[in-house]
Structure 1
Amino acid sequence: MTTTKTLSTLAGMHRDNVAPGKLIENRTVYASDLAELSVYDTYESAKRVLLEADELLYCGMMTGRKIMHGKGGYSTEFLPHESFVIAPNSFVEIDFPDATQDTPTTCMTLEIPRETLKKLTDQFNLQQAMPKELGEWAPQVNQMHLAHTEATQQLLERIVHSFVCKEDDRDLVLTFGVNELIARMLRHESRTFLLNCVSEDPTKSGLTQAVAHIEANLARPLDVDGLARLACMSRSKLYSQFRNTLGCSPVEFQQRRRLEKACSMIRSGVQSITAVSYDLGFSNPSHFSRRFHQMYGMTPREFAARFH
């Protein structure tokens, strides 16, 4: 069985096989009927390079870093092991501060048609409907930037590997991979939507009351029976609503929110990693480090070194 290579290694293999036609955003298209996979290589420093998206555009860094500029003065650093999603009919401007011919900046993108997004959304509404108080799943993924999980990183590696290495089943790999990416984006949007509901009206539904309680008590052990009573539903219904809407159990949701919060705290650099671990309720820094590595594929110290 072939071992899937890292995105950094795949970027090198890709560049070995492609003669650049230009030094900034040299694009190579690996075509498919379902979605368009492209790899962009940049070999010299540049600023404010325009990238427009007609359809939803999913971006993943392979090597180097970019500075992404959006509407309203939005600006953020974009690094490997992160996802950046550009909404349909939108754009970003990109800086390439470190790109050189010896150390090019390489990024992969997946352009996902609206029809593909809508088809999977319709499946979600049929098979995993949200609580009626919260409406339906909607294919309205906005601009999004986050440190993605190790599972998402492995998924991207598998997709790119299948095309760079010209595997026979690459179209099938892309079909399953794009569907999983869309599902992950919808789950992320549902978490964001629920957290917004919590901030506006935590009593909107039993699920929002449960999420509000978890969010307000991230550092405390979770009493699932007490959470079910707070949400006015049975334990089994509570688990069902969490699974259908968020794709995880209440305990797993709390763990994910702790680690997402940890990313923000570490990135700010205000507190030490040890202080972050205790503030978020982890029993000790070693336990925190193991959990962080399981989710993001790197230790908290490795994550912090990217920013400080």
Structure 2
Amino acid sequence: MNSFDLSRHIQSRKLELVVENRTAYTLENAELNIYETHQVAKNVELTFTNPVLASMIRGKKVMYLADAPSFDFLPGESVIVPANQTMTIDFPEAQFDNPTQCLALAIAPAKIKSMVEALNEKAPLVDNSQGWQFTNDNFYFTNENAIHQLIARLIYIFTENNEAKDFFANLVLQELIVRLMQTKARNVLTNNLQELANSNRLAFAVKYVQDNIHKNLTIRELADKACMSEPNFFRCFKQQYGVTPVEYINQQRIQLSIKLLRNTQYSISDICFACGYNNLNYFLKVFKKAVGTTPAHYRKQWVIF
């Protein structure tokens, strides 16, 4: 993913601190905070009163949240941070001429509530009595290109001089909230698939995909497993998880191929067929588009036998 454009921010911001220097841009329904650290630091504490979407722009942080293990926070990654939870942060690489930069986007609870209510009314979830939720009880990652693009667009809106910026920001915030909830739905599905498959038709279909990823899967077959018509299954799947069933199948096949490349000595041809592809050239094309390199080069980078 490309880095965010902070050119207008850099031109106008004031550096008053060398550790977590904060610049805030406030609109009607959101506040964008950009933090910059210019020297190595450890055990820096930070707390937000509302849930925030934190995204790394440049450099590296080591994050400590609640009782979870520490993790490296790198450019291109975003994480939802709960409200009123203190983060402890290390900055192992920050330098004056190479600062660590991170943004934190806080969205007004009323804006989130209105979007959740609208979704539950117009696009209710399948077999889920709780409905859409934007919870802040735990943190979760996303490195999706769509979310990255929306954040980039918000940076542009927040830092430009335009009297209609509140209007523009509200449109982007609506899409961002929905995509974040879809991302959370996929994370919940991944972590609780066996349990959900017993009570949710879409989860049952997803488990069927994972159990039969080596086969030639069709939308009609998956819709039958979910006891739904093809159009309704396609619509509900895309609505709930933010990707089409075909996109999800391809994602799972690529993830399996990566796992096999890194952990086995199977030939690339064998991996191709094990992941449900029946054409090696097509597999090579799809893999390179998704990962950015060929399977052979990926294996050479990551695997040492």
- Fold shared by both chains (TM-score > 0.5): yes
- Displacement after TM superposition at 1:277 (Å): 7.2
Q: 1:244 aligns with which of 220, 239, 242?
A: 239
SS in 1 for 2:67: helix
Partner residue, 2:198: 203
Paired with 1:240 and 1:176, the residues of 2 have a C-alpha distance of 22
Separation in 2, partners of 1:155, 1:199: 32
Asked if 1:286 is matched to 2:281, the reply is no
The code of the aligned residue for 2:125 comes to M
Q: 1:281 to 1:147 in 2, by over 3 A?
A: farther
Report which stretch shifted further, 220-229 or 106-115: 220-229
Q: State the match for 2:106 in structure 1.
A: 111
User: Does the C-alpha gap of structure 1 residues 172 and 130 become closer, same or farther in structure 2, counting only changes over 3 Å?
Assistant: same
Specify which of 155, 170, 184 is matched with residue 175 of structure 1: 170
Q: Following the alignment from structure 1 to structure 2, what is the Cα–Cα distance between the partners of residues 140 and 177?
A: 20
Counterpart contact for 2:78–2:143, Cα < 8 Å: yes
How far is the alpha carbon of 1:38 from its aligned partner?
1.0
In the superposition, the TM-score normalised over structure 1's length comes to 0.82
Displacement after TM superposition at 1:254 (Å): 1.9
- Measure how far apart 1:258 and its partner are: 4.3
Q: Is the 8 A contact 1:45 1:96 kept in 2?
A: yes
1:1-308 alignment, distance < 5 Å: 7-8=3-4, 10-141=5-136, 142-149=138-145, 151-258=146-253, 265=259, 270=263, 278=272, 280-281=275-276, 283-292=282-291
Q: Quick check: 2:126–2:201 contact (8 Å CA) kept in 1?
A: no
C-alpha distance in structure 2 between counterparts of 1:207 and 1:227, whole Å: 9
Cα 1:215–1:89 shift into 2, 3 Å: farther
- What is the rounded CA distance, in whole Å, between the counterparts of 2:262 and 2:32 in structure 1? 35
The DSSP-based 3-state class of the residue aligned with 2:28 is coil
Q: Secondary structure at the match of 2:97?
A: coil
How far is 1:133 from its partner? 4.5
Contact kept? 1:11, 1:106, Cα under 8 Å: no
Partner SS, residue 29 of structure 2:
coil
Seen in structure 2, the aligned counterparts of structure 1 residues 136 and 262 have a Cα distance that, compared at 3 Å, is: farther
* Gap change, CA 1:155 and 1:258, over 3 Å in 2: farther
**Cα separation, 2, equivalents of 1:183 and 1:299:** 33
For these two proteins, the number of residue pairs brought into alignment is 292
CA contact (8 A) 1:29 1:37 kept: yes
Tell me, yes or no, if the aligned pair for 2:58 and 2:99 is still in contact at 8 Å. yes
- Specify every segment of 5 or more residues in structure 1 that has no aligned partner in the other structure, as ranges: 1-5
* 3-state DSSP of counterpart to 2:55: strand
Secondary structure at the aligned position of 1:53 is classed as coil
SS in 1 for 2:19: coil
- Tell me the secondary structure at the aligned position of residue 284 of structure 1: helix
Instruction: State the distance in 2 between where 1:261 and 1:109 align.
Output: 33
TM-score for both structures, normalised by structure 2: 0.83
Task: Quote how far apart the aligned CAs of 1:217 are.
Answer: 3.1
What is the CA-CA distance between 1:243 and the residue it aligns to? 2.7
Counterparts of 1:86 and 1:178, CA distance in 2: 17
| Secondary structure, aligned partner of 2:88 | strand
For the pair shown, which has the larger CA radius of gyration, 1 or 2? 2
